[in-house]
Amino acid sequence: MITNSKVTIYHLSGIDETTKYPKWERHNYDEAWFFGGEGAGINKGYENANNVDVRIPYGQNADLDISDFSIGDIIVQGELKDDIERQQDLKEYLIYNITSINNNNFGNNSHIHLGGK
């Protein structure tokens, strides 16, 4: 599969009992296909202006596991090294929330397909 970007996913894994903040697990993927993003295009219009599609191929990302993704998790294009306590910790970055997850684990290009807004 052709890839064009690194991607960081922040997966919501529970609530920290001490701080009452959500607990976020960071997952970095070196090989992903990232398409879409900020702004309206002629073919997308305003309703779908900020939609993104992300495909993360199994064969090019050794630690890829479908259980590391949930609706509402955070997608950031690029490789981030910082762990977060709140979604606000990413205010310097353009972020998207996962709205759909498809496990395309068949054929020659098996991958996880994420949709985001």
Each residue's pLDDT tens digit, 60-84: 999 999 999 999 999 999 999 999 9
Which of 103, 114, 111, 102 shows the shortest CA–CA distance to 10? 114
User: How far is Cα 115 from Cα 86, in angstroms, rounded to an integer?
Assistant: 22
Each residue's pLDDT tens digit, 94-115: 999 999 999 999 888 999 999 9
Q: Is the pLDDT of residue 21 over 90?
A: no
Which of 101, 93, 114, 86 shows the shortest CA–CA distance to 21? 86
In which region does residue 49 sit, left (phi positive, over 0), alpha (psi from -120 to 50) or beta (all else)?
Answer: alpha
Give the domain ranges of the chain.
5-116
Q: Give me the chain's average pLDDT, please.
A: 91
